[in-house]
Chains A and B, each alone.
Chain A
Amino acid sequence: MKTFNYHSVKDVKEASKLSSSKSAFLAGGMTTIPSMKLGLANYKDIINIKGIKKLSGIKVSGKTVTIGSTTRHAEVANSKEIKKAIPSLSALAEGIGDPQVRNRGTIGGSIANNDPAADYPSACIALNAVIHTNNRKIDAEKFFRGMFETSLKSGEIIESIEFAIPQKSSYQKYPNPASRYAIVGVYVAKHKSGVNVAVTGAKSCVYNDKNLSDILSKNFSADAINNTKISASGMNSDIHASADYRANMVKVFAKKAVEAC
């Protein structure tokens, strides 16, 4: 790993001021550190944001669950409040990687990175999340822009993620047996306003399957999507699964999720 200047900051302003096109924020480091070691990324400055108190913690109100960006996966997995308000969200966190990844990795790092196979982006879409940054609020639908791409501007810091508590929800994934990233993951959430079917792992970026969402909004049952055809166009194809297989898995896991709701 090439050398860099390490900074540990106490507030968001300082972090934002230090950042440049050659810097990265250090949250869990579970992506940043291996990327630097593999030479996929090099930074002049590494800015540790975990010392910023207001970025961590969990708040549950009547309608929403708000999670600070540096909150670790293990904290979300073990939170009694989240287990009660949105059990599918704590179950998702429990299924990420392995215990040591969950002890370090953070929700903010996960969504800022927007890996096409990451779990949390699907939760953001399914649970109508609002991403709070140091400058603005961004709807999840507008946040995830493409493969490893988000609408975050340089120096912009995610402070927290606010999820809407659904009536029912379930996240089901077919994990890569080595990393546990999703080969296909489907997050179904039924809100008063309608159903979301967020899909991760299948394409270059997480998306809401509008067709499945519409059908399930009218008739919330696994049988309702029995005859729906999922197109393989735009689906990922790699050593783990072909595009056709992934298309089929989207339906299989959507049905599983509806049944588990």
Chain B
Amino acid sequence: MPINTPLLDFYRTMRRIRSFEEHVADLYVRGGTAGSMLHLSIGEEAAAAGVSAAMKPEDRFTTHHRGHGIFLARGAAPDRMMAEIAGKEVGYCRGKGGSMHIADMALGHLGANAIVGGGIPHVVGAGLSAKRLGTGAVAVAFFGDGAMQQGLLYESMNMAALWELPVVFVCVNNQYGMATRIDHATKVTAFDQRARAFGLAAAMVDGEDVEAVHAAASEIVDGARAGQPGYLAVTCYRFFGHGRMDKSPYRSPEEEAAGRKRDPIAFARARLIERGLSEAAALDAIDTAARAEMAATVDFATAATAPALASMFRDVFAVGEPEPESVRTRIARVLARS
């Protein structure tokens, strides 16, 4: 009988994330997704599971373009995620956003972003509103190591620190921004130093060990809730290419093999068994259940209907505002008159 420990929950979350990513990748390759870009978070599951578990339900967050895992860990319904990525009406954003623009206000997800660094300042604003409205919520920005070189991050860190906002910056450092390894993008990779320079509490943690991520994140998130904003860099490895079709020719097979050994799921599994908290068969059952769950999301997304063409004019402005007149309608109107 597996014993209910946080680690087992983390394991389940991480397995569900990986299984989701495997299924969405497969759907993408078969041409079943809407967007031409698909970024998998395989290898980064501990960042998603560990930080999410340190957050409360009312907390807000934004993610970068590699955000499926974070959103799942925050409680997303994988079928609606899969449907969004497939560009379907029942998806989280009615098929208008896709993988890189998924959001759900009900779960505090203020949005994934296709502009590197674009979502970071929004958490400063969410921290400001939490403080002013007294909600007690923390706002967490998730972003990649690539965003560490965007100026906007430093404006955001400075304001969060200056105003003592309940804000946390989480860098998922998977070592690469596209084909560029971090040491080709910056001279100093000890990113926590930068955060400290602004007056943030800061830590770096090994992204293979989900318990360590959770412990570090808890300290930073709790601190932010008490008025000391913080920064956490989770060091991991991007197991596959930048996008699904990228075969990473710019890094050696040896490096990849070593990087993929730093697998947070295998690590948690070994630890669960070693501590006698679970056994292989029970963990296999979790894996099987995750696969079945995610396979069903693919069926759901595939069967779902595409948005009606006219829906493209919806949501440019608030409900009740007039929709833009279509080009075709305008031309017919003008030519009928002249």
User: Are chains A and B native binding partners rather than an unrelated pairing?
Assistant: no
List residues of chain B with CB under 8 Å of any chain A CB: none
List residues of chain A with CB under 8 Å of any chain B CB: none
